[in-house]
Amino acid sequence: MTRVARYWAVESALGTLPIAAGLLLVALWGWTWGGNQSKLSHFFINVVLVVALQLFSGNSGILSFGHMAFVGTGAYLAGLLTIDPALKSTFAGLPHFLVTPQWHWLPALLAGAGAAGLLALVSGLAILRLDGASAVIAILSLLLIADIVFTAWTAVTRGAGGLYPLPPEATVTHTFLIAVGAVLIARLFKDSRTGLLLQASREDAFSAASVGVAVRQYRVRAWIVSGMLAGAGGALFGWWITTVTPANFFLEPTFALIVMFIVGGTRTVGGAVIGAGLVTLVQEQLRTYEDRSVDLGFLKLHRLTGLTQFALVLMILVVMYFRREGILGRRELDESFRSLVRRPRAAAR
């Protein structure tokens, strides 16, 4: 039995090699290039976030509009734990136990992940009792409640004005390591017993339940692991953007996250990474054009506010109309490679 367990775990860990290699290439580029590395860090952060979403929504089939609540939790806690105490002592009303510490980035990231996991545990026990559309709305409510708390709890979050300056700990190296870790966790989860049973419930919840799959329990497990990953990604996001405001964790970033998730293909970890790459490309390349004005002769536009958003909308509509399963479809990259290699042999027989 243990031999079998070791076998699938090793195989699925090896299966992440194509993705890990791709991420390593990007990181190598960053290490040798030396120019504007923040774009690469952004990509790795997006990978962590979307892989977290894929872990829950991809396996369970329940689309989550609420993951930014976990991302925000991770960003605020990890940010507060790493800001210079001298600076924090000027924040009115900040609880004392948050003022004194100035942690190393990794423990702070783990604390952010832990807090998000705790939020996931509490919210999951309630929300995941629901099913179908009610669950989607209850998860959306989590996002709305989180946004209200982030905005109104000014003693800790500094409200709409934003928490700053967070230390720029989101280097290419740090984000790369966490991204590879996230991909590995997501893939292992997907191929684990819990992951497989959850996928069975995604295909047909009633059939799965009828053969003894404790659907709700597996959903809660995925929700917690996914929430922790999102919290870790949030910690990195905070250090990347250095000024954290509630708007960073509300509807627009939620939509961007969902675009990443859908465009690459919801069923695979590889698809999530590809989606993160495409969306980061759009976000980073179009951002500079948003402040420009356009004069088409017959039409003058002062500012192209929302251009990024517009591009994301087009991406998702193209996928929805022409390739609903996303770019990768059902197979992970390594599974596709393997079937490409095997096919000629099968034909020869």
Q: Which residues bind other proteins (CB under 8 A)?
A: 61, 63, 126-134, 136-138, 140-141, 144-145, 148-149, 151-152, 205-206, 209, 215-216, 251, 255, 258, 262, 301-307, 309-310, 312-313, 316-317, 320-321, 324
- Distance of closest approach, residue 231 Cβ to other proteins, in angstroms: 20
DSSP collapsed to 3 states, the chain: CHHHHHHHHHHHHHHCHHHHHHHHHHHHHHHHHCCCCHHHHHHHHHHHHHHHHHHHHHHHCCCCCCHHHHHHHHHHHHHHHHCCHHHHCCCCCCCHHHHCCCCCHHHHHHHHHHHHHHHHHHHHHHHCCCCHHHHHHHHHHHHHHHHHHHHHCHHHHCHHHCECCCCCCCCHHHHHHHHHHHHHHHHHHHHCHHHHHHHHHHHCHHHHHHCCCCHHHHHHHHHHHHHHHHHHHHHHHHHHHCCECHHHHCHHHHHHHHHHHHHHCCCCHHHHHHHHHHHHHHHHHHHHHCCCCEECCCCEECCCCCHHHHHHHHHHHHHHHHCCCCCCCCCCHHHHHHHHHHHHHHHHC
Q: Long-range contacts of range 301-304, CB-CB < 8 Å, 24 or more positions apart?
A: none
Residue closer to other proteins by CB (options 75, 315) is 315
Pair 128, 220: CB distance under 8 Å: yes
- Distance of closest approach, residue 65 Cβ to other proteins, in angstroms: 9
Residue closer to other proteins by CB (options 144, 177) is 144
Residue closer to other proteins by CB (options 106, 136) is 136
- Distance of closest approach, residue 233 Cβ to other proteins, in angstroms: 21
What is the rounded distance in angstroms from the CA atom of residue 224 to the CA atom of residue 184? Answer: 16
Residue closer to other proteins by CB (options 173, 309) is 309
Residue closer to other proteins by CB (options 62, 228) is 62
- Distance of closest approach, residue 145 Cβ to other proteins, in angstroms: 5
- Distance of closest approach, residue 108 Cβ to other proteins, in angstroms: 27
Residue closer to other proteins by CB (options 26, 118) is 118
Residue closer to other proteins by CB (options 41, 266) is 266
- Distance of closest approach, residue 151 Cβ to other proteins, in angstroms: 7
- Distance of closest approach, residue 240 Cβ to other proteins, in angstroms: 24
Residue closer to other proteins by CB (options 14, 317) is 317
- Distance of closest approach, residue 66 Cβ to other proteins, in angstroms: 11
